Amino acid sequence: MQKKYLLVLSLWSSCCAFAQEKPTRIAVDTAAISEIVIYETRLQLSSSLKNRNLQIVDKEQIKKLPVRSLNELLAYVAGVDIRQRGPFGTQADLSIDGGSFEQNLVLLNGQKISDPQTGHNSLNIPVPMEAIERIEVVRGPSARLYGVNSLTGVVNIVTKNPQKNGLFAHVYGGSSFEKDSETGQDDYFNGRGFQLGGSWVEKKHNHLIFGSQESGNGYRYNTDFHNSKLFYQGNIQPNDHNTLMVLGGLVRSSFGANGFYAAPIDKEAKEIVNTYLLSLSSKHLLSDALTLSPSIAYRYNYDDYRFYRNDLSKARSQHYSNALTADVKTNYQTEYGVLAMGAEMRYEEINSSNIGEHSRSNYGLFAEFKREFFNRLDVNAGVYVNYNSAFGWQVFPGVDASYRLSEQWQALFSFGSSQRIPSFTDLYLNQKPNLGNPHLKPESAYQVEGGVRFKANNFSANAFLFYRDIDQFIDWVRADETLSWQTDNASSNRTTGFNTSAKYRWNRAVATWDFGLGYTYLSPKIAAPSGLSKYTVESFKHQIVTTINYSHKKWSVMLANRYNERLSYKSYFLTDARVGFDLKKYQLYLDAQNIFDVTYVEAGAVPMPGRWFTLGVKFNTM
């Protein structure tokens, strides 16, 4: 593995050294190069996404929603299915438009940070809510843009670019005001936490740093949790043509895992997950027409699952995984359009007590051409060629297009394809009652989608209809309850779906109303063998998300509602609220989650918390 690290570092260093040369001036309209992202404008949206079905949660929405973790936040994005086993940001599975939790990619500022061991750990991310500028959710197979494993979509977390020096502090505590009936203790179920952060901004560099600690005794027997996070981000711009970002962080989580994977016999289970992230990325304007963007990202993950938390001599699983990703991208503006090309490499390895020692490499090449015709028709077309050391060669074409019907209306069309390579858990797990299958084949998918967008004044809306075909769908199956679960390419999944969303802002003389609505309908047709299945019938059938925010001077009130109906579970309706009071540097808030105390399950056999109240105060000069 050391040789691979040296090769990647050498590639990135060469790219940066080449970029130090004085740019050659070429007479090309640089206004058309929307991919150029330097220090001041790093947070702009890539032009490759403007023709896609894209959901964005911006920093203003993040500030107002009654949430404190990324997991809770994503539950308010239309089409995104968050299946929490451990609430309070402990553990959650992410799926998009009816896919499984393994069929999507998680990115941080465009860099892959998904976990190769299992998708259960992909959201173990050190980025605090206060450091997020926005979250982009790209729906549909996206190998042309992001490579393999983007089978049903991509979640990209974009961090803030600080503008001034400042400090941040956040203290909060909450409770359900219920006691643990199984232990007979007098303490109420509760949770509390604090967060400290700061920003340092100079002319040619800026820095963000955050640290946090949260803990609690949970919300039912053996659901206590302890989470520690540290996050750093630095941006350096030595001149107008070059910029460098350094990002690093760690998460250390320990939580009771009652009912997570083998209910009801795992009542005394506990899990510890430690994740470390480090990335380097840079962007270089080599000429008025040419940009170069190399990057490296490294993820280390330690997962310690203890079936008997008080007896480590048996039924303990320990997993150590490493993932190293390197890529280089270029954009070249010609008189005919923008040509984008690039290459990436990803190396993954695991050393596990019940998965074994395994490694694999993945290499990809991509090319894309973007052009506007007649000042109305915009087309992105490209192809991604992939080679995996375990599964060989694959080719994934794709095209996105939009046509501007008027100043307010736009029609969109996309075709995308992708592949999902089995995780190490899928392939090699040897832990009854769950057994992997080393003979698995990769999943493959294509999707056709069409839709419209409308935007005028304070109102915006969109609607999309899609058809997705997934072959070699990987599922955990068994013939009856006496046998172990085992992975298999057991089914195909053809899904027809419809989604729509709308936003409206009503400004009054002394107050502002913000309304949001999102609806997703999914109709999967699953060809599966007889017997029992873990994942093929877990997806949504209907999902409705509504938000209403009222702001008056220093006060704000947010009411958020979610209606979820799954194929294999009862429907349920959740209502959350936040009341906030803003004193410029100080913000006070009171959250009420699951106001009507609904009983429901999101994943496996883990009941979620009932009514929960949280009081918090923030100090912010950033």
- For residue range 174-184, list pLDDT tens digits in order: 999 998 777 66
CA-nearest of 393, 394, 300, 419 to 349 is 300
- Please write the tens of the pLDDT for every residue from 458-512: 999 999 999 999 999 888 888 777 788 888 887 788 999 999 999 999 998 789 9
User: Are the C-beta atoms of 23 and 240 separated by less than 8 Å?
Assistant: no
pLDDT exceeds 90 at position 33: no
Rounded to whole angstroms, what are the CA distances from 174 to 62, 177, 398, 558, 579? 19, 9, 47, 18, 15
Distances (CA, A) of 220 to 87, 262, 267, 273, 305: 11, 17, 11, 21, 19
CA 524 – CA 57 distance, rounded (Å) = 27
Its pTM stands at 0.90
Distance CA 395, CA 365 (A): 10
Phi, psi of 340 (to 5 degrees): -115, 135
Instruction: Kindly list the distances between the CA atom of residue 362 and the CA atoms of 228, 392, 530, in Å, as whole numbers in the listed order.
Output: 32, 9, 34
- Which residue reads 């061991």 in tokens? 117
Residues 245, 233 contacting (CB under 8 angstroms):
yes
Stated as kind and residue range, the H or E segment containing 425 is: helix 424-428
- When pLDDT is averaged across residues 378-391 and rounded to a whole number, the result is 95
Peptide bond preceding 433: is omega within 30 degrees of 0, i.e. cis? yes
Residue 290's nearest CA partner among 324, 328, 239 is: 328
Partners of 506 in beta bridges = 513
What is the pLDDT averaged over residues 182-187?
71
- 586 CB neighbour count, 10 Å cutoff: 12
Least Cα distance to 255 among 108, 356, 127, 121 occurs for: 121
Confidence band of 422 (pLDDT split at 50, 70, 90): very high
From residue 521, alpha-carbon distances to 71, 77, 103, 211 in Å are 22, 14, 19, 39
Q: Which of 476, 359, 572 is nearest to 120 (CA)?
A: 476
Domains of the chain: 2-620 (2.40.170.20)
pLDDT of residue 19: 47
Nearest-angstrom CA–CA distance, 345 and 367? 15
Residue 39 reports pLDDT greater than 50: no
pLDDT at 18: 43
R_g (Cα) of the chain, nearest Å: 24
- Classified as helix, coil or strand, 483 is coil
Does residue 35 register a pLDDT over 80? no
Angle (CA) 572 575 579, round 5°: 170
CA distances to 335, 414, 510 from 374, rounded to whole Å, are 14, 19, 44
Q: Lowest mean pLDDT of 78-92, 299-313, 413-427, name the range.
A: 78-92
Report residue 527's pLDDT band, with 50, 70 and 90 as the boundaries.
confident
Task: Return the higher-pLDDT residue of 545 and 263.
Answer: 545
d(Cα 398, Cα 494) in Å, to the nearest integer?
19
For 427-436, how does the pLDDT look when each residue is reduced to its tens digit (9 = 90+)?
A: 999 887 789 9
* pLDDT value of position 446: 93
- In sequence order, what are the beta bridge partners of 108? 111, 157
Instruction: Tokens for 251, please give them.
Output: 């998460």
* pLDDT for position 23: 42
Of residues 590 and 23, which shows the higher confidence score? 590
**Which segment of 297-306, 334-343, 513-522, 563-572 scores lowest on mean pLDDT?**
563-572
As a whole number of angstroms, the distance between CA 446 and CA 201 comes to 45
| Positions of E strands within 312-421 | 316-334, 337-352, 356-373, 377-388, 392-404, 409-420
- Residue 476 and residue 494: Cα distance in Å, rounded? 18
The Cα 156–Cα 190 span in angstroms is: 32
CA distance 612 to 500: 30
In this prediction, residue 565 has a pLDDT band, given cuts at 50, 70 and 90, of very high
pLDDT at residue 183, rounded to an integer:
67
Higher pLDDT among residues 277 and 534, named by residue:
277
Residue 285 in contact with residue 278, Cβ under 8 Å? no
Tens digit of each residue's pLDDT (9 = 90 or more) over 144-174: 889 999 999 999 999 999 999 999 999 999 9
Exposed, middle or buried: residue 456 (CB in 10 Å: 0-12, 13-18, 19+)? exposed
State the average pLDDT for the chain.
88
State the Cα angle at 408 between 402 and 410, rounded to 5°: 15
- Report the DSSP beta bridge partners of residue 17: none
pLDDT of residue 37: 37
Percent of the chain with pLDDT over 90: 66
Predicted confidence band of residue 1 (pLDDT cuts 50, 70, 90): low
| CA 229 – CA 90 distance, rounded (Å) | 12
d(CA 189, CA 221): 10
